[in-house]
Amino acid sequence: MKRSMFDRLKKDMNNGGMNPKSVVALVVFGAIIVVFVFFGMTGSHQATGTGAAAQVNATLISAADLRQEAQRLEQMYAPMFGGQMTSDTQRQFVRQQALENLISTELMAQGAEKIGILATDEEVKNVIVRDIPAFQDNGRFQRERYLGILQANRWTPGEFEGRIRKERQTQRLRRMFEIVSSPTVQEIEKTKEMRERKRNVDFVRIEKQTVVNKMPITDADVQARLANEDFAKKVQSEFEVNKAQYGQEEQVKAQHILIKVNPEDPKSDKAALEKIMSIAKRAGKEDFGKLATENSEDLGSKRSGGDLGYFGRGKMVPEFDKAAFSQKVGTVGEPVKTDFGYHLIKVTDHKPAVEAKLETVRGQIARRLMATERYDDEVKKLEDAVAKGETASVEKFVKDLGLSWEESGYFEIGAETAPKLGSVVATSLALEVSEKQPWPKKLARDGGALFLVKWKGDKREPIPAGDKVAENLDRERSYDLMNSWLERVKKDAKIERNQTLLNSL
């Protein structure tokens, strides 16, 4: 049935029965504004530069499109990171997300065309002529203005019109998924009921490592246990297997100043080298940290005077690593070039490698093994007590280990995860308890954590006025359906990502 509905929708939409043209215009106009904001009217929409960012079947995604999408996401994510992206990890996350967004968009456009979702030349023309204010003067389309804006952004008419066509196709595809996945009246009512019902539980989160570290094991306990030959051998075996973690690798502590190089601009290398050489001359007389704060283009370290902290061999890119470990403490080395640009490095400390010795760490290992054994024994007793409904023993366990109960606060019965619990498994267990059966018969295990829960209360709370249950349910279901379809399309597609370009942006 859904297949025939899907076919009918496709036919209706291709015939113009459903027209998301205004949405397309908004998206495309928004893209133009983004270009103006980030690059100005002088134009900077280049072709693929040093290479395409990715290839999706026979279509290339340009480096320029990747930069534009990454900058759009940076603007969107910045408030989550205190107003700006300050670390390489954050920026790498955004670049990767941007590339995946572009790949998904291209796959949707290709998939839409494959199943016959089309956008005619007339439709594309109408979007450009009627629906984008940037191309109009007093409400009338101006061809010269249109061509001028495209030229300023280094788009050809064919490229821009192709972009509109893809947006039109993908908007139709999304709309089809929305209609096909529309919930029934019964589903909407059931969702409302689930959202109105709320539950509150008390819970204890038991983190193994936290409990193990707090286990009260005395030196006398350790010495008595080490007197046991089998246990002493176990300690020695643990040391041999994990010897590296008990020693100390060679480490340096350093500050650096980075001047980036744009791989697409041949003049950028020379300018960056001249700048780093100029800073190097000043570094002999001026405070290095102050120079880093004023000049470094590594946003992740410039605020701390370029301080990178301690790091071992192999933690940095090879060129940087070699220079840092060969420099004397307190010296500023010659500029070093990496894929990121030119670095000026000052080593502030150098710790030699220290080989681990069993006699030094025997007590530490023994204490940890004993604490782990005791934890496992206590958890087994706790699981037995919970299964038997021995609540007094459960409460004693919580108290003896210095743990405490927390209140989840009321959450929707239909929620996948209660916010304070933060675990799907624990939330599922919380939904099994009730006023008649306040204690469950088991613990919830989620990764390295255990959850103990008990019922505290239920209530029914009307959904706030204006809360669009049907629309939200429709959106969630269409999103899930579209993502499932997209994942299948990805499996059959040929996708190549230019990781080198991604890392160099």
Which pLDDT value is given to residue 86?
Answer: 60
CA distances from 269 to 103, 306, 339 (A): 31, 21, 11
Among candidate residues 375, 399, 456, the one with its CA nearest the CA of residue 201: 456
Mind giving me the DSSP string for 4-25?
HHHHHHHHHHHTTSS--HHHHH
* Bridge partners, 446 (sequence order): 449
User: Which residues is 252 bridged to in the sheet?
Assistant: 311, 350
- Of 32-36, 104-108, 279-283, 400-404, minimum mean pLDDT range: 32-36
Find where tokens 């007093």 sit.
Answer: 138
Both tokens of residue 349? Answer: 């400390």
Rounded mean pLDDT, 23-39: 39
Contact criterion met (CB below 8 Å) for 221 and 437: no
How would residue 409 be classed by pLDDT, with cut points 50, 70 and 90? Answer: very high
pLDDT of 120 over the 70 cut: yes
Could you give the 3-state DSSP secondary structure of residue 349?
Answer: strand
Q: What is the pLDDT of residue 63?
A: 87
Average pLDDT over the chain, rounded to an integer? 83
- How far from chain centre, in Å, is Cα 271? 34
Check residue 84 and give its pLDDT. 64
| CA quadruple 310, 313, 318, 319: dihedral, nearest 10 | 50
Answering whether pTM is above 0.75, one says no
8 A C-beta contact, residue 63 and residue 275: no
| Domains of the chain (ranges, CATH numbers) | 2-180+475-504 (1.10.4030), 196-243+358-460 (no CATH), 248-351 (3.10.50.40)
Res 201 pLDDT > 60: yes
Handedness of CA 50, 53, 55, 59 (dihedral sign): negative
406, pLDDT greater than 80: yes
Task: Identify residue 484 by its one-letter amino acid code.
Answer: S
